[in-house]
Amino acid sequence: MQDFFFIAFPYIALTLAVCVGLYRYFSHRFTYSSLSSQLLEKRQLFWGSVPWHYGITLILIAHLLPWIFPGAARTVLGNQTRLAVLELTGIALGLYCVFGIAALITRRLPNDSRARAVTSPMDWILLLVLAYQVLSGVGIALFERWGAAWYLSTAVPWLRSLASLRPDAATVTGLPVFIQSHFISGFVVILLFPFTRLVHVFAIPLEYLWRPYQVVIWNRDPQLPQLPVLHQIAASPRPIPLNPSEVQRRQLLTRLGVLVGGISAAIVGIPSLAFLLGLRKVPEVWRSLGAADSFQIGQTVEVSFLDSTPLPWSGVTAKTAAWLRREGPEQFVAFSINCTHLGCPVRWLPNANLFMCPCHGGVFYKDGTVASGPPPKPLATYPVRLRDGMVEILTTPLPITTV
């Protein structure tokens, strides 16, 4: 039974939503919108429609983002304060939605209400399902606290497994029935998409933001070379044929242009976005610095090692330097060579027992703490370990310097 609700039903709902949705768009375009009743009844609609639409949009985004970026969500929610703020915001938005849908339902209830006159049976079903969905959502937020956090370890893996076509409902089958019902009714909403006014979600006219204000449509295409005007046709013995390949070539070129543009945008855009969202992690690798015996106890020497992901053509630029000191038979410490002020390479002065920065006179003690000058923080250190008589260093990304 659980398999039906959490594996079969979601796929059925999604398949129907996509197939029937497309069918309705292409063959019943006229119906592909939401039947507004604002003309008939306006005052109550304001209190219903505005809270509902703004509230549910934000809540939907909050549900979708952790599903798409679970790593980022985990990082954001790792902090107790942020979790509490998000949780409270969520509850507030949920209550905002409940208020909205309550107003939307009550305005259609009275027997002589004009809005009721344009309410179809499907509208009632949709309103009830949506009302259940937001009420159960608020209930979960109130009685099963920190949903923002446990969502990541229960629903998200399940939803991702559905998306990757390797369905696995193990993380949700053990949840209380109340929570499960919220998931199932969520898919009922998806199922209702193509059969109700909900289709208007996919008709939001973002194109309006950039299209020209005026729309002029010609029977003839003004881009085409001058068409023979009618009296000329009448006068000429044969109609002048229009070259069809002309039209097709232009269409093909337009489509090619869009395709190439789209690919280049993706090549540039996807890595940039991934970087901004913190999705790309630099791998950490242990690099050998040489035999332990080659370092003397108490001596500080400059060592260099390869980055974790050197490119074949980067040569010497793939190397990073560090100051390594052997403090005991098995104790090593490695300092970053970059000053914490603006990143100039610091020098070790053995006579003074100090690191000194040549750029702005920053001075660090032997243990890396700041002695004087502008640096705000002690020198960063790398983890070092001894393995099979070899000294190894972990290529960690260093904290960026202060500016």
Partner 1 sequence: MNVRVQVSMVFHLDKCIGCHTCSLACKNLWTSRPGAEYMWWNNVETKPGTGYPTLYEDQEEYRGGWEVKDGELRLKLNTRAGELLNIAYNPRLPALDDYYEPWTYTYGDLIDGPQQEDQPVFKPVSLVTGKEMEIEAGPNWDDDLGGSGIYAANDPNLSSLSGEQRQQLLNVERVVFFYLPRICNHCVNPSCVAACPAGAIYKRGEDGIVLVSQEKCMGWRMCVSGCPYKKVYYNWETGKSEKCILCYPRLETGQAPACMHSCVGRIRYLGVLLYDADRIHDTAARPDHELVDAQREMILDPFDPEVVRQARADGVAEHVIESARKSPVFRFVKKWKIALPLHPEFRTLPMLFYVPPLLPVTGSMSEEGLYETSSDFFSSLESARLPIRYMANLFSAGDDEQVTKIYRKLMAGRYYKRAQTVGDVDSGKIAQMLAEAQTTAGELEEIYELTSLAGFDERFVIPPFSREAAIELVQITQSRQEGGGMGFVHEPRRGL
Stretch that binds partner 1, among 88-96, 183-191, 223-231, 393-401 (CB under 8 A): 223-231
Does 255 sit near partner 1 (CB under 8 A)?
A: no
Does 223 sit near partner 1 (CB under 8 A)?
A: no
Does 54 sit near partner 1 (CB under 8 A)?
A: yes
Residue of the chain from 61, 81, 121, 219 that contacts partner 1 (CB under 8 A)? 219
Measured CA to CA, the distance from residue 298 to residue 296 in angstroms comes to 6
| DSSP three-state, residue 386 | strand
Residue of the chain from 2, 15, 36, 120 that contacts partner 1 (CB under 8 A)? 36
Does 165 sit near partner 1 (CB under 8 A)?
A: no
The two three-digit tokens of residue 86, written as one number = 């998000």
61: enclosing H helix or E strand: helix 43-68
Residue 119 or 171 with smaller CB distance to partner 1:
119
Does 39 sit near partner 1 (CB under 8 A)?
A: yes
CB 328 within 8 A of CB 297: yes
Count of C-beta atoms within a 10 Å radius of residue 7: 16
Measured CA to CA, the distance from residue 102 to residue 97 in angstroms comes to 8
Measured CA to CA, the distance from residue 199 to residue 19 in angstroms comes to 13
Does 238 sit near partner 1 (CB under 8 A)?
A: no
Stretch that binds partner 1, among 178-186, 241-249, 263-271, 322-330 (CB under 8 A): 241-249
Does 26 sit near partner 1 (CB under 8 A)?
A: yes
Does 177 sit near partner 1 (CB under 8 A)?
A: no
Measured CA to CA, the distance from residue 353 to residue 339 in angstroms comes to 16
| Least Cβ distance, residue 45 to partner 1 (angstroms) | 6
**β strands within 105-198, DSSP E:** none
| Least Cβ distance, residue 245 to partner 1 (angstroms) | 10
User: What is the sign, positive or negative, of the torsion defined by CA atoms of 213, 217, 221, 227?
Assistant: negative
CB 155 within 8 A of CB 180: no
Residue of the chain from 15, 38, 314, 317 that contacts partner 1 (CB under 8 A)? 38
Place of tokens 């020198």: 379
DSSP assignment letter at 376: -
Residue of the chain from 118, 127, 129, 344 that contacts partner 1 (CB under 8 A)? 118
DSSP assignment letter at 29: G
Window 86 to 115, contacts with partner 1 (CB under 8 A): 111-114
Residue 242 or 291 with smaller CB distance to partner 1:
242
Using CB under 8 A, list all residues that contact partner 1: 26-27, 29-30, 32-42, 45-46, 49-50, 52-54, 111-114, 116-118, 200, 203-209, 211, 213-222, 224, 226-231, 233, 242, 244, 247-248
